[in-house]
Amino acid sequence: MLLSVFELCKAYIDILNFGKSLPREKISGDFTNSNLLACFLSVTLPLAYYVSITFLKKKIFGKMLFACYAVLVLILFIILQSRGALLSIIVGVIFILPTLKRTILLVLVSLLLLLSIALLYLKYNSVLGRLLIWKITLLHSFDSFFIGHGTGSFNYLYPSLQANYFMQNKVSEQTVRLADIPQVPFNEFINFFFENGFIGLMIFCGVVYIALKIRGTGENHLPVFLKAALIIILINSFFSYPFHATLLLMILFFIIAALSSFIRTRVITTNQIVSKLISVLICVACSFVLMYLYKEQDAVRQWRNASFVFTEDEDAENIMRNSFPVLKNRGQFLYNYGSLYIEKGKIEEGLQLLEKARDNYNQYDLYLLLGYTYEKLNNLKKAEEYFTYASYMIPNRFAPKYHLVKVYISEGKIEEAKQLANEIMSMPIKIPSAKINFIKQKAQDFIINNIK
């Protein structure tokens, strides 16, 4: 609970310090983006309510304290325009307060629902972008229907799947403009189906079903609030990626472990000893997972801190080196580590890390950086390969096409360069910038200078 208050205060401090100059996506506390922060705070609401009415001696004071906390959280959700968090709160309120006066409950739910719909229209392009991601992911989920493509495979496979989709299908200009390369599909159930197949998805749903069937004993209402928190995580999972955030994953395992201690004999088995044994095994397994996740979370925290240290400072390199044993299989970490080396002029070490990152980090930024690096080393064949791949990954980006034109010119492929320069001139601009104007001007100059 203290951590949730800390994260909430940190978010409001950022808002007060930076105001409108700070994009809402950057109001993220210790998380990677604002969606995960909103998910975390929404999950803590039912747990905070339970603490306020159970452990505080004066219940009225506890409820007032919780009301202030809840209002601040909801205001932050509106600032962050977090639709998923608001929808999850609606379901959580209905689950925890089914006996609340029908009129009050109806008004509360209606207000939250209207806010969610309003935010849906405010971020309409974001919705269309996610629908494209879901469509491509589901189309290829059936390629390996029963067992999936493997845990963690989405990050690596999706960029190629999207590139093939654009090459094989005639799509609208709006679709091209909305395309991007996500590291997650913004839906944990689709991601689970894609990576673990139908069998894995059914096992996961089975565990959730058992957890939601567990009831409290006597006057102990803790399972109700734990299940409300679990439901809120699941609702957020339809629109975000809480299972990819270490802290939220720790909370998920904590909830399941805590609920398992309330397993009754009639829920799982007719044998009370077996039932207790299952509870102990689940708690022990979850404890080991939590220990591993804590270690990983600490390494991730150090990694994030390194990104705020100047690349000239040796501290950044030391932090990355210390995090390497734990995060050596994380493609994004290897990409950041390799980028740091290249910025410091350690090209060979940087390239080794970037090439290793390709094993499980098949992302636009990686291939663009590889292209830049090989272009500087005058390895034009490799540079052409990586710039071409990056261009197909996100067809609305100018940078890979511009550098590909430069590579073609260096290779003497003037006709290919002219064709690509014309394509650059005809591309719509998604977000105007000085860099894009510069690229278009260079493309225009090249075309004019090479008119026959």
Other C-beta atoms lying within 10 Å of the C-beta of residue 131: 11
Q: Which pLDDT value is given to residue 59?
A: 66
DSSP state of 24: G
Phi/psi class of residue 445: alpha, beta or left (left: φ > 0; alpha: ψ in -120 to 50)? alpha
Q: Which pLDDT value is given to residue 153?
A: 84
CA 403 distance to own-chain centroid = 29
State the Cα–Cα distance between residues 34 and 44, nearest whole angstrom.
16
CA triple 279-249-73, angle to 5 deg: 115
Q: Which pLDDT value is given to residue 106?
A: 61
Q: Which pLDDT value is given to residue 266?
A: 47
Angle of the 272-306 helix axis to the 246-260 helix axis, nearest 10: 170
State the Cα–Cα distance between residues 392 and 162, nearest whole angstrom.
8
- SS3 of residue 397 by DSSP: coil
Domains in the chain: boundaries: 2-122+214-262
Q: Which pLDDT value is given to residue 265?
A: 47
pLDDT (tens digit, 9 = 90+) per residue, 277-314?
Answer: 776 777 777 777 767 766 766 666 666 665 544 444 56
**The residue to which tokens 């029908």 are assigned:** 102
- Rounded to 5 degrees, φ, ψ at 187 are -160, 110
- Helix, strand, coil share (%) of the chain residues, nearest 5: 75, 0, 25
Q: Which pLDDT value is given to residue 451?
A: 67
pLDDT below 70 — which residues of the chain? 1, 18-25, 55-59, 96-124, 216-219, 263-276, 279, 290, 293-294, 296-314, 451-452
Q: Which pLDDT value is given to residue 102?
A: 57
DSSP state of 29: T
Of the candidates 441, 399, 443, 436, the one whose C-alpha atom is nearest the C-alpha of residue 420 is 443
Q: Which pLDDT value is given to residue 358?
A: 85
CA triple 301-283-303, angle to 5 deg: 10
State the Cα–Cα distance between residues 384 and 382, nearest whole angstrom.
5
Q: Which pLDDT value is given to residue 386?
A: 92
- DSSP letters, 78-116, are HHHT-HHHHHHHHHHHHHH-TTS-HHHHHHHHHHHHHHH
State the Cα–Cα distance between residues 190 and 241, nearest whole angstrom.
11
Q: Which pLDDT value is given to residue 3?
A: 80
